[in-house]
Structure 1
Amino acid sequence: MAFEAKDLVSPPPKNAILFTGSSSIRLWDNLQESFPDKVVLNRGFGGSTLLDVIRYADRIITPYRPKQIVLYAGENDVATDKVSAQETYERFVTLFRTIRKTLPKTPIVFISMKPSPSRRPYFPVIQEGNRLIRNFLAKQRRTTYVDVYTPMLNANGQPKGELFKADSLHMNAKGYVIWAEKLRPVLK
């Protein structure tokens, strides 16, 4: 994996806040600038699903022994794998338990699945998946659910197009401003 080769050349910081998940994390080019007073490490990889993060957890999460984990995943499960909200939730729980086995006290922050305009047909499933994951995390220790879905909607309940690139899937800098605002209060 490219991360392992990169780590050999330039060792990652210790005790960092680890951001992982799909391209919404990978493409966060100014992650460190968004949180200048934090030590952050970006280990997002494009197109990934929760199953991918589970498969590579022992390579992209565990070795870093992060002080906190920030996860964005699930949207690709719904839209690419075409799975239900329940199955997305079950995949998340599997990942959560996988992380807890090796890092039982590390706080986990889940960024809700976002309302990408190109994935409008999946909004009901995304909303239900978000609800299931939020309810699960409310019963767990050292967890935080961060809602980015709602602040990315306009007054009519539609996605704010100005937050997205031309593909209507990936966010532009304005989208990341919202994410940073929502995450700042919960980062360790």
Structure 2
Amino acid sequence: MSRSFTRRALMALALLSLTAAAPAPETRFSPEIARFAELDKATPPKPCGFLFTGSSSVRFWKSLDQDMAPHPVTNRGFGGSQIADVTLYFDQVVTPYRPRAIFFYAGENDLNAGRTPEQVVADFQAFLDRKDKTLGATKIYFISLKPSKARWDQFASQSQANAAIKALADQRPDLDYVDVVPAMLEAGAPKDIFVADGLHMTPAGYVLWTQVVRPVVEHEAKTGAACRG
């Protein structure tokens, strides 16, 4: 057996090993999606609440119920997700709840994975298209991509994506942009509101988010369109 053949065989085995180690997007989040189904079975969700979905910044908002009380909220964030993942699982994490409004946080992981701000906006447009098809004019509130210590080098890209989505919101009556960035910065740098990984927020971070997001929830509850549940 030639050395070149042996090298090619070893490379092929290594590639197969890497492929097996990286689960496909359709299965990577299966445990979390299954857990949502179990929660819904145990406590069937009431329609017309406020749905929060997206990545880990939503998932770890453990005080969300209390922070938005008495307004009914459902947390369907799943850690590590990108915008395309939320769209992929739309029928599991959005459709069943027939929400009065959707608060959406994703895109940060997309940029960290190498996607461009333009791709982030295109992926979000695909989510909006899916929402339009399934839920019509249901309002979407896009929570701006947050500055963090761990990803401070991506702040310029985050700002570019945020600006583009804000511009998109200016053109659509069913989309608003919720800017949490100013509340999270001090002297031009992220505040000390992060756990050890420098990425996920402490309860103090969620206090800041609540100060920005709760008034939006209250305004939507008072003035938003009638529930379509």
- TM over 0.5: same fold? yes
- 1:13 corresponds in structure 2 to 46
Which residue, out of 175, 180, 183, partners 2:213? 183
Please say if 1:118 is aligned against 2:146: no
CA deviations over 1:62-120 (Å, ceiling 9, x no partner): 111001100000000001x2111111111111111111111112111110000011011
- Whichever of the two has the greater Rg, that structure is 2
- 1:170 corresponds in structure 2 to 200
Structure 1: state its 5+ residue gaps.
none
Which residue, out of 51, 72, 77, partners 2:110? 77
| Residue pairs, 1:67-146, within 5 angstroms | 67-79=100-112, 81-146=113-178
Q: Is the 8 A contact 1:144 1:186 kept in 2?
A: no
Which amino acid in structure 2 is aligned with residue 184 of structure 1?
A: R
- 1:158 corresponds in structure 2 to 189
Q: Is the 8 A contact 1:112 1:145 kept in 2?
A: yes
The CA RMSD over aligned residues, in Å, is: 1.0
Which amino acid in structure 1 is aligned with residue 99 of structure 2?
A: P
- 1:62 corresponds in structure 2 to 95
SS at the partner of 1:42? strand
> For residues 54 and 96 of structure 2, what CA distance do their matches in structure 1 show?
16
> For residues 159 and 120 of structure 1, what CA distance do their matches in structure 2 show?
8
> For residues 54 and 142 of structure 1, what CA distance do their matches in structure 2 show?
17
- 1:36 corresponds in structure 2 to 69
| Residue pairs, 1:47-58, within 5 angstroms | 47-58=80-91
* Percent of aligned positions that are identical: 42
SS at the partner of 1:69? strand
| Equivalent pairs, count | 185
Q: Note the C-alpha offset of 1:123.
A: 1.1
More helix by share: 2
Structure 1 stretches of 4+ with a deviation exceeding 6 A read none
SS at the partner of 1:134? helix
Q: Note the C-alpha offset of 1:186.
A: 1.4
> For residues 105 and 51 of structure 1, what CA distance do their matches in structure 2 show?
21
Please say if 1:22 is aligned against 2:55: yes
Q: Is the 8 A contact 1:164 1:171 kept in 2?
A: yes
Q: Is the 8 A contact 1:13 1:41 kept in 2?
A: no
Q: Is the 8 A contact 1:21 1:44 kept in 2?
A: yes
Q: Note the C-alpha offset of 1:168.
A: 0.5
Structure 2: state its 5+ residue gaps.
1-33, 222-229
